[in-house]
Each structure stands twice: as structure tokens, then as C-alpha cells.
Structure 1
Amino acid sequence: MFTYEGLGMSAGSYGAVLSIAAPGAIAGAVFAPKITRRFGVGRAMTTAAFAEPVFILGVAATPALPASVVLAASGMCAGFFQTLYVINSVSVRQARVGAAEQTAMHATYRTLIYGVVPLGAFAGGSAVSLLTPELGPLGAAKSVVLGSAVVAMIAALPLLGIQGLLGFEQRQS
């Protein structure tokens, strides 16, 4: 709704934006080992958990700046940090859980994390629908996206102390 109704982008334009943003996730995978070795798993996870929503806040710059540029840049950066987080969180789970239980642990994690995505989409869509009469489609969508980014940053607060909890940390300069 944000891109189609709020920004007036066509499906093809938005597809192009996503294609341009995709290399950010690939770069996150390429650079994750070096970043993790340098700063540690906990710091890499914490930084990524806070940085991803910060870049999502970039949507506030639309439509003052060209939407396709803002969305591509925000998506590229968010994809980089999301991949950095996921790679490190998998490493933590694998180090903490025995080989025999890893299948169940990863399945449970995926169910809990990805299982709430439809609920979030429903809640976000409902919030946009409720706010649209007062704020218009663009204002409503921006408000919900920005609110979601703030909630994501608050949800990442418990990670601030994770570095010291990870016994397998190895910091190399």
C-alpha cells in the first residue's frame, strides 16, 4: 500500500527497487565473517539489530526525495544488516544447542520468528486502514512503518548485554 497508493509506484518500479536493493543482503553475507571476527558475535548482532530499523526509517524521506532511490538505499542497507544478524544468530544457536536437538531448535525458531509475520502484516494493514482517513494513504503508511521501526529498535534492547554472555567470543583485530 505504501509504495502503490502512497508513493504512486507501479509494480514494475517497485520490483526494480527490490532488485537494486537485493545486493545489500549478499554483501551482508560476504562481509559477515570479517565483521564478526573483528567485533565479536554479540556486537555484530546488536549493531545489526539496531541498524536495520534505523535504515528503514529512511522511508520518512519520501516523497521529498525520489522514492525509488530512498527505498533502494534503505532496502540495501536493511538487507545488509538483516543478513549480518541472521548469520550470527544461527552461529549462536548452533554453538548453544547439541547436534541432536538442532533440527527441533531451528524449526521452533523459524516457527516463532516467521510465524508472526502474517500477524504483523495484519496489524500493520489494520493500522494503516484506521489511520488513512485522517492522514491519507502516504501519511498512514509512513506512520506505521516508522512506528514499526521504533518497536524493532526497542525489541533489540535486550541484545545490549549479549557480548559478555557468549562464551565463545573471539575478538581479533
Structure 2
Amino acid sequence: MVTRSSLLARNRDFRWYWSGHTISVLGAQVTVVALPLVASVTLDAGAAGVAAVATAGHLPNLLLPLLVGHWLDRRRRRRLMVAADLVRASALAVVPAAFIAGALSLPLLVTVALVVGAAGVVFDIGGFAYLPTLVDETDLPSANRAVQGSSTAAQVAGPGLAGALAQIAGPAPALALDAASYLASAVGVGRARRPEPVPARGTRRAGILDGLRVVAVNPWLRALTAHATLYNGAAQILTVNLVIWVVTDRGLSAGWFGLALSAAGVGAFLGTLGSLAAARRLGYGRTFVSALALSTGTPLLIATLSGSTATLAVGLAAVQFVSGVGLGVANVLSVTLRQTVIPRDELARSNGGYRFLIYGVLPLGAAGGGFLGQALGSRAAVAAGAAGLALSTLPMLTRRIRTLRRPEDARPVPGAPPAPVAADAGGAR
């Protein structure tokens, strides 16, 4: 069951949107793998060329969220999401066309990666702000469960699909099918016909940095942002060193390593399905904290894994699965809580500020992971990254969050003074 009374079955507009969003996420995952494959296999660009394409694809996540959030704040989002999909489709279609014409080059791939990445930022920030206008408030948790569940499934299937397409058709021609996926996404999102309200015009002129202000002054958003930022930085430290320790030092094959990691996606998908039932039974805050205990605590076991390569693969898969279950639950609850406590006219710019912080830490975490790996060794660096994941839970352990029963209870009381910025400081407990 996807929703409390099958939201997909009874809400045609959400069904179209969900279909388009799912296809878009799947296309994005294929793009992340397929573009570097074109650089490597078709152009024989080497490690530096592949890194340039991959970096260009991720760079907009660091540079654009504040600008895009500010820009989307006073605009209808659905038509801009459709435009973003059409831009991605057009940009990717250039690659197979250039391949056929013999004009494919590394600078072209870097440009395409930048354009596709920038359009992806518009689509993602727009989608976060658009969904609460598409469904009734009582359906918002169920809508997020459906979206997060299909997104998780797409993230698991996307890399494998990219590899299969590249194997069958070649990396460059495979991008023609990837471009078609964005066209299908544009159709799905575009068919969601529920009238989108005109964004409210605020009494004051909002600045580009207002997205950061919205995050800073709200205690719930501060806690979520601090957790996600610490989590992403620590995850980079863990990821950078895990492949070295497991594959290079311990001798686990790349295939088994990939299968072990994919267990996280399976767990996350199951976690999304059970998230709302758990929240109803245990309460929102307790469920959230319990999910974080799984997602951030279980990886502490990775550095203790020993034995044969088969034992290592099974142990790593088990850790990834359990951690993934917690991550799937936490993702649904986090998105719903943010969409509930943030005023509708601040959804876009607050998400821009949120993404700026949680994605901006990724290159720092990767660099820190490399430094720790060189200084301490890969196994110790894996342990350090896992410890960072566990510590990222601390901002979410306040009594305010633990005792939250429903996301609606986190809304500010009308007429009440805003909470002081330091309300939760010094003491995640």
C-alpha cells in the first residue's frame, strides 16, 4: 500500500506528477553514470577527464541552490520543472548527435554536464516547493512516502540501467534514451493539472541569503540542517576510504562490493514503505530518532568486520541494509517535517539554503577523507567516517524533537515570538 487510502489511485494529478518525478530521478541517476562513461570509453579521456565531467555535473549543487531558491520563491514551479526537464533532454541529445557527426569532445561533455546539473537543481528545488500545493495537507506524508520510495528505487536501479544501456548501445547513443526519459518526465509533471496557487508576495523584499535565514531562525530546521550537513561530510570520509579498505586492502571484488552497497537501497525502499506506520505507532519524534540510530549507528560496525572476503561481503551488506532501512524512514520524515513547518511562500528559498549547506560540505568531506586515509590508513579513516555519522545524530536528540507526536505540532504558534537562535545550542541531548 503506497498511501493511507491509495493516494496514487484516487488522485490523478499526483499520479501524473509521481510518474514524471520518478522517471526524472531515474534519468538523473543514469546521467551521473553515463556521461563519465562517455568520457572514459568513447573519448578515452583518462582519470582527469572523467573527474572533470563528474565535477561539472555536481558543481551546480554547490553554486546554484541559493540563487535558484530565491528565483523560484515568487514563481509557479510546475512549468519551470517541465522546462528544466526539456533543457536536460535537449542538452543530453547533443551528445549522441555530436557522436554521429564526429564532433564529440571533452569540453562539450563538461558543458552538457553543467547544463544538466543546473537544470536538475531547478527541478529538485521546485519539486520540494510544489508538492505541498499539489496534494491536501493530510496527504502530504503519504505523498512524500511515494516520492521517496520511487526515488530510492530509481537510485538503486539507475547505475545498473546506465551500465546496461552503455553495454548494448554504446555510452554516447545510450544518452539518447536518457534524453527521452526527461521528455517523459516533462509529460508526467506537465499533466498534473491541479491549479497551482500564485506565490504570495511578501511585505518585504527577500534577499538571496534569506534561504539561510529561514533555516537559521527555525529550531527544527536548524537541527535537521546541522544533522544533514554533518552526515554528508562524514559519509564522504567513509565512502572515500571504504572502497580502498574493502577492495584494495581486503581484496573484495568490485562486483561483490557493488552488490553489498546496493543492499542499502533495498533497505531504504523498505524503510520508506514502513515510515508512516511507524510514526503513527511510536510518534513522529521517536520514530525519527530511532531511524537515525539505525542509519548513523549501524555503520560503526563496518570497521570491525573481519574474516574471509565472503564474510566481509555478507557483513557489509547486512550493515548497509539495516542502515538503509533507517535512512529510508528518516528521509520521508525529514522532507515532510520541513514542508510542514516552513511557510508556503518560503519553501523554495529555504530549500535553496538547506541544499547549499548540506551539499556544500561534500567536497570538504571528500578532501578530509583523503587526508585521513593518508594519515591514519583506510581502516581507521572508515572508522572515523562512521563515528562522524553517529555524531551527526546529536542535533536531533533534543527533547523538543524526541517528544514530537505529529509534524503539525512543530508549526509556530500564531502570534508567538520566534524562538531564539540559540534555543538548542550546546546541547543535543
TM-score range, shorter chain: 0.7 to 0.9
Partner of 1:115: 360
The answer to whether structure 1 residue 144 and structure 2 residue 396 are counterparts is no
Of 405, 408, 417 in structure 2, the residue corresponding to residue 168 of structure 1 is 408
Alpha-carbon distance in structure 2 between the residues aligned to 1:112 and 1:46 = 22
Alpha-carbon distance in structure 2 between the residues aligned to 1:99 and 1:108 = 15
Unaligned runs of 5+ in 2: 1-243, 410-429
- The Cα shift of 1:34 comes to 0.8
Alpha-carbon distance in structure 2 between the residues aligned to 1:27 and 1:113 = 25
Alpha-carbon distance in structure 1 between the residues aligned to 2:341 and 2:356 = 19
Report the residue type matching 2:394 in the other structure. Answer: L
The answer to whether structure 1 residue 35 and structure 2 residue 278 are counterparts is yes
**Is contact 1:17-1:72 (8 Å) kept?**
yes
Alpha-carbon distance in structure 1 between the residues aligned to 2:352 and 2:323 = 24
- The Cα shift of 1:57 comes to 1.6
Report the residue type matching 2:303 in the other structure. Answer: A
**Is contact 1:61-1:70 (8 Å) kept?**
no
Alpha-carbon distance in structure 2 between the residues aligned to 1:163 and 1:95 = 17
- The Cα shift of 1:167 comes to 6.6
- The Cα shift of 1:58 comes to 2.0
1:8/1:98 CA distance change after superposition, 3 Å? same
Unaligned runs of 5+ in 1: 132-139
- The Cα shift of 1:49 comes to 2.0
Q: Taking structure 1 as the reference length, what is the TM-score of the superposition?
A: 0.82
Aligned residues: 161
Of 301, 314, 322 in structure 2, the residue corresponding to residue 69 of structure 1 is 314
Alpha-carbon distance in structure 2 between the residues aligned to 1:86 and 1:119 = 23
Q: Taking structure 2 as the reference length, what is the TM-score of the superposition?
A: 0.35
1:114/1:156 CA distance change after superposition, 3 Å? same
Give 1:71-110 correspondences, 5 Å limit: 71-110=316-355
- The Cα shift of 1:94 comes to 0.8
1:14/1:167 CA distance change after superposition, 3 Å? closer
Q: Which moves more between the two structures, 34-43 or 157-166?
A: 157-166
Alpha-carbon distance in structure 2 between the residues aligned to 1:76 and 1:4 = 19
Alpha-carbon distance in structure 2 between the residues aligned to 1:81 and 1:141 = 25
- The structure with the largest alpha-carbon Rg is 2
1:46/1:8 CA distance change after superposition, 3 Å? same
Alpha-carbon distance in structure 2 between the residues aligned to 1:47 and 1:125 = 31
Of 374, 382, 395 in structure 2, the residue corresponding to residue 158 of structure 1 is 395
Alpha-carbon distance in structure 2 between the residues aligned to 1:58 and 1:143 = 12
**Is contact 2:267-2:322 (8 Å) kept?**
yes
Q: What RMSD in Å do the two structures reach over aligned CA positions?
A: 2.0
Report the residue type matching 2:246 in the other structure. Answer: T
